[in-house]
Amino acid sequence: MLVQSSVPPRPVNPSAAFAAASALRSALSSSAAASAAFDGRPGLPDARGRALRDLRISVTDRCNFRCTYCMPAEVFGRDFAFLPRELVLSFEEIARLASIFVALGVHKLRITGGEPLSRRDLPVLVRHLSGLRTAEGLPVDLTLTTNGSALRALAGPLAEAGLQRITVSLDSLDDEVFGRMNGVDFPVARVLDGIAAARSAGLTPIKVNTVIRRGMNEASILPLARWARAEGLILRFIEYMDVGHTNGWRLDDVVPAMEILESLDAEMPLESVEAGYRGEVAGRYRYRDGSGEVGVIASVTRPFCGDCTRARLSADGSLYTCLFAVAGTDLKGPMRAGASDDDLAGLITGLWAARTDQYSELRSAATADLPKVEMHALGG
Ligand code: SAM
């Protein structure tokens, strides 16, 4: 049964946000760099002409996995100080900020974390977010990324609350390899069962995210691809990234997307598919025999900063304009101090307008050691 909402429905008055957005757009239209790159679709352009279109919302900094590349157990042990409850945004606060972002042109919301399904009563938040409408009056594109461990219990309530589709992370079909990567010996079968539950609940199409790390799970590439193709799942291989600074990232640990594609193509011939929309992060390929699609997210070897339309809201209410940021801007403080929707829209607008981030395009040995915010904190 879906938990009843404790969040009162909130009327959205986006007029001020739209006014701020159009004032900003006209101010920026005089900037040659911005107007040259701006793709003409609604949404606030940043200083490089990239529109604000997507918001990733981290609902918790906690996770029940200790993936070696994200929250290694040596660092995130029993004594690790996660956010105290009072510093985490409430559902009311998240829904309020999301409505302001949508009024500013965001059309896609992705719920993430940490492990989002470990946040209590998550369907309540989903119900509120699924009620948001874009300026064109369309429902927002609402999705969620999860490790799948609690999907058996939650897939139905999430779908009922209005979640449309889901992405599940799974790094191997081999229990030994998967257990080593997830850091808690979590069995593959339970994730597969979660995926089955998501399918029965209609959370489709289902995407599967796989991080490939050299020396850990390259041997899992082909078995995962065969399985996903047979199951009708959209598998996306992600290059191991230098997010945060606790995973000891080295360029040598990255398996380039091209290498992954070559090994897939040798067994299951591929052809490329045009991006579904500007800013899509995955390079998409289809199997030539028509049996489905696979993707690669080549953030290290083929950075896509030039098309990045994503902002990230951390569990404690900071706004980050890049996955590799060293700092965010606090929205929770002003909100709790009584800022109006217009004030918050102005803050977001100003921040986005000044955005110049292009970390992945500038990545080098020197940037790997920057004190970047951890992915579990700002939302993957
Ligand atoms: N707990 C959820 C999950 O497992 O999907 C959501 C959060 S997790 C941080 C989001 C995605 O980021 C996962 O697919 C994970 O594999 C990926 N990820 C985490 N650290 C990464 C890294 N260093 N490089 C590439 N992908 C990473």
Residue 191 has pLDDT above 60, yes or no: yes
- Sheet containing 108-112: which strands, arranged edge to edge? 270-273, 283-287, 293-297, 234-239, 206-212, 166-169, 141-146, 108-112, 54-58, 310-313, 318-320, 329-330
Q: What is the pTM of this model?
A: 0.89
How much of the chain is helix, strand and coil, in % rounded to 5? Answer: 35, 15, 45
Q: What pLDDT score was predicted for residue 374? A: 80
Residue 9 has pLDDT above 80, yes or no: no
From the CA of 375, give the closest atom in ligand 1: 9
Spacing, Cα 112 to ligand 1 middle (Å): 9
From the CA of 63, give the closest atom in ligand 1: 1
Q: What is the pLDDT of residues 341-372, one digit of tens each?
A: 999 999 999 999 999 988 787 776 667 777 77
Q: What pLDDT score was predicted for residue 42? A: 62
Residue 134 has pLDDT above 50, yes or no: yes
From the CA of 249, give the closest atom in ligand 1: 23
Spacing, Cα 168 to ligand 1 middle (Å): 10
Spacing, Cα 224 to ligand 1 middle (Å): 17
Cβ of 346 closer than 6 Å to ligand 1, yes or no, is no
Residue 176 has pLDDT above 50, yes or no: yes
Spacing, Cα 326 to ligand 1 middle (Å): 18
Mean per-residue pLDDT of the chain: 88
Pick the more confident residue, 106 or 42: 106
What is the amino acid identity at position 358?
A: Q
Tell me if 173 sits within 8 A of 223, measured CB to CB: yes
Q: What is the pLDDT of residues 299-317, one digit of tens each?
A: 899 888 888 999 999 999 9
Question: Is the dihedral angle over the CA atoms 82, 87, 93, 99 positive or is it negative?
Answer: negative
Would you place residue 8 in the very low, low, confident or very high pLDDT band (cuts 50, 70, 90)?
very low
Tell me if 184 sits within 8 A of 175, measured CB to CB: no
Spacing, Cα 117 to ligand 1 middle (Å): 14
Would you place residue 340 in the very low, low, confident or very high pLDDT band (cuts 50, 70, 90)?
very high
Cβ of 147 closer than 6 Å to ligand 1, yes or no, is yes
Residue 70 has pLDDT above 70, yes or no: yes
Mean pLDDT of 10-34: 43
- Share above pLDDT 70 across residues of the chain, in percent, rounded to a whole number: 87
Q: What is the pLDDT of residues 279-304, one digit of tens each?
A: 677 899 999 999 999 999 998 998 88
Cβ of 279 closer than 6 Å to ligand 1, yes or no, is no
From the CA of 242, give the closest atom in ligand 1: 23
Cβ of 243 closer than 6 Å to ligand 1, yes or no, is yes
Q: What pLDDT score was predicted for residue 10? A: 39
Tell me if 376 sits within 8 A of 70, measured CB to CB: yes
Would you place residue 5 in the very low, low, confident or very high pLDDT band (cuts 50, 70, 90)?
very low
Q: What is the pLDDT of residues 218-267, one digit of tens each?
A: 999 999 999 999 999 999 999 999 887 777 788 899 999 999 999 999 99
Mean pLDDT of 88-116: 97
**Residue 138 DSSP one-character state:** P
Question: Probe ligand 1: pick from 59, 64, 70, max atoms within 8 Å of CB?
Answer: 70
Cβ of 145 closer than 6 Å to ligand 1, yes or no, is yes
- Share above pLDDT 90 across residues of the chain, in percent, rounded to a whole number: 73
Cβ of 247 closer than 6 Å to ligand 1, yes or no, is yes
Question: Probe ligand 1: pick from 211, 299, 378, max atoms within 8 Å of CB?
Answer: 211
Residue 46 has pLDDT above 90, yes or no: yes
